[in-house]
Amino acid sequence: MQLRTPHKTYCGPRLRHRRSSRTCVRSGSSSVQSGFLTTVLLGVLSHRLERVLRAVVLWGVLLCLGRPAWAEHLPQNVSGEAVFRGSYWRDRNTRVINPTVDIRQQTASGFAVTGSYGLDAITSASVAAGATSDEPFTELRHEVGFGTEIPLVGKSTVSAGYGYSSESDYFSHTASLRAKVSLFQENTILRVGGDYTHSSVGKRLGPTGYLNMGILHEGHAIAGWTQVLGRSLIASLTYELFVLSGYQNNPYRPVSVAGERREFENLPTSRIRHAFALSSHKLFGLPGALIPFVVLRPALRVFTDSWGVSSVSPEVALHLPIGPFELRGLLGYFRQWEASFYRSNCGEQPRVFPGSPCYAERGVEFGQTTDAMGRTSPFLAYTSDPKLGSYSTLTTELQIKWRMTVFSRLGPVGEHLSRSVIELSGGLWFAQDAVGNQFGIPFVANEEVGVAGCAAFCGAGFAHLGLYVPL
């Protein structure tokens, strides 16, 4: 089991406390979806499909808004492998370089252990991202994880893992437990599991000062069903529940409320999120030997939560094997509707882009709060995060994967090397409304830009390089 701590994805409300602005790139994955994509692999190859589908990685959609609670990657080498990855993200405010190393070793009995290390080098230079001045700063985040998988009857397994990540103002511990049940000769795969994350949120006060802002508890439960529907069709269905309790503000980014500058937002301390995903893989056989088949993967994710945020995200991917190579193309669309307490009603103001969070009056009443004396009063919520507003994004990605089978005739060393895989991918992320304004790079010349730098055709770029080496 490959465990990633929850804020591995550079995007979404899960990261509002962070100084750096992050849209979305899932390091360690070859698929990046606009807004809030992350991936969980719920794939299973039945015996009758194994010879045809062995080159296909079954991609399901993990239904979270802004973070992967876990990610299970189908290994290129089941007995064991080391995976070296490097990911790069560049938007208007932020550059992220993310090298990772993942190791998995499995015994003949099926018992497996995993270990991982990741480094995020995040460079940002924007007041809008939470910096105190437009001077570049680089922030490092270290992440380690380990896990184990125990075989049960047949192909069923149970797995557990632990992950820890640290940086200058955020520290997380995550524990995870998963079970996979294989039925009907692997034609049906059921998965259930859960995670618990304990995070300490802080605020830097200069090079040496530090202020503890609060604790965030997060529980996550997941249930998945993957079914072989025919000799060339597989479908997956996933449901996820997220329960967050604790500090969820961004302590760096100010917000305007009733004409006054508030130093940071005031968000509810509890949040419940529901997510549903449906995907399928359809194989179309071809007569040629060079290109034996094409796989089409449509997917859909639907999300809603107790803050009033809802979203829908369709996606389609195409997998095309050509000899030892495999080409993959992806097109994803994301549409979100704003939180019930999100406002942008300050009218036209200098240095405020239309649609950006701004409150003409006091915050929006959202539930109740209780003071130290036990007295209740309306809770006034307000946010500085445009990713809690309404917006849409579009993601395109192209990947090429090379299975190094050409070395198979070069003796034992060549045979070992022939099981290695190199993959390279890159893509563009386009955003509209206030999110595009804050994060996007202008893609047209002589644009009448907003204060943050982009007003019309805005986007960002990402790239990924991976090497799979058998152990």
How far apart (Å, rounded) are the C-alpha atoms in residues 196 and 181? 22
Beta bridge partners, 319, equal 295, 328
Euclidean distance between CA atoms 40 and 61, whole angstroms: 6
Which of 101, 61, 7, 8 is closest to 468 using CA atoms? 101
pLDDT of residue 125: 60
- C-alpha 178/C-alpha 158 separation (Å) is 6
Distance in Å from the first CA to the final CA of the chain: 17
Q: What is the pLDDT of residue 347?
A: 79
CA distances from 372 to 363, 365, 369, 376 (A): 21, 20, 10, 10
Over residues 285-315, the pLDDT tens digits come to 998 888 999 999 999 999 999 999 999 999 9
State the pLDDT at residue 436. Answer: 85
Which residues are paired to 113 by β-bridges?
105, 148
One of 2.40.160.40, 3.30.70.2740, 3.30.420.40, 3.40.50.150 is the CATH number of 6-470, namely 2.40.160.40
Q: Between vectors from CA 392 to CA 315 and to CA 38, what angle results, nearest 5°?
A: 45
Residue type (1 letter), 5 = T
8-state DSSP, 129: G
User: Would you state the pLDDT for residue 379?
Assistant: 94
Please give the pLDDT value at position 453: 57
Tell me the β-bridge partners of 301: 277, 313
d(CA 168, CA 203): 9
For residues 326 and 320, the answer to whether their CB atoms sit within 8 Å is yes
| Confidence (pLDDT) at 353 | 78
Q: Where are the beta strands (DSSP E) in 5-45?
A: 39-40
Residue 134: what pLDDT? 55
Q: Which helix (H) or strand (E) holds 189?
A: strand 188-205
d(CA 338, CA 234): 34
Q: What is the pLDDT of residue 15?
A: 35
Query: What is the C-alpha separation between 393 and 459, in angstroms, rounded?
Result: 9
Put simply, whether the predicted model's pTM sits higher than 0.85 gets the answer: no
- Amino acid occupying residue 188: T
In this prediction, residue 445 carries a pLDDT of 60
Question: If we measure between CA atoms, which residue out of 49, 431, 40 comes closest to residue 220?
Answer: 40
Quote the pLDDT of residue 138. 82
Q: What is the pLDDT of residue 397?
A: 97
Sign of torsion over alpha carbons 440, 130, 172, 313:
negative
For 363-390, b where at least 16 C-beta lie within 10 A, e where not — what string? bbebeeeeeeeeeeeebebbbbbbbbbb
**For the chain, which residues score pLDDT lower than 50?**
1-72, 126-132, 449-452
DSSP letter for each residue of 237-291: EEEEEEEEEE----SS--EEETTEEESS-B--SEEEEEEEEEEEEEEEE-S-SSS
Residue ranges covered by each domain of the chain? 6-470
